[in-house]
Amino acid sequence: MYVVKAKSDFAEKRVEYLYEAMQHDRKCDTIFTVRGRNFPAHLIVLMACSEFFGTNEGLVEGIFSDYEFEIIEEILKYCYTGEISIEAKHEKKLLELANRLEVKFSPDI
């Protein structure tokens, strides 16, 4: 029997590829349109971050419409990278949106 094990950064590299693809609207299977601006994404990546995206996909655009573009972008970025960088003035709204979308942050945030 042969066992092949990928490098320790295997999964991280795959997600980096998907994040880059999302930023360039490549192979995205869902697009959220908020006030005329498109936010393409890979639904499976979003579902891995929150079941809400799989069961309530049709409600997301309505929820997004209550938030600034920077907040939406950071939530989507978090789903792909596990990182958020947001100005303090947007912190409360970001946490509110994450709660509405049932996105769970790591204890470090």
CA distance 25 to 23: 6
Domain boundaries, the chain: 10-100
Q: Is the pLDDT of residue 41 over 90?
A: yes
> Domain 10-100, CATH 1.10.340.30 — does that match?
no
pLDDT reported for residue 69: 93
Per-chain mean pLDDT for the chain:
87
Of 92, 55, 58, 61, nearest in space to 76 by CA:
61
Q: Considering Cα of 42, then 76, then 101, then 31, what sign does the dihedral take?
A: negative
pLDDT reported for residue 61: 87
Mean predicted confidence (pLDDT) in 57-64: 86
pLDDT bucket at 2, cuts 50 / 70 / 90: low
pLDDT reported for residue 28: 92
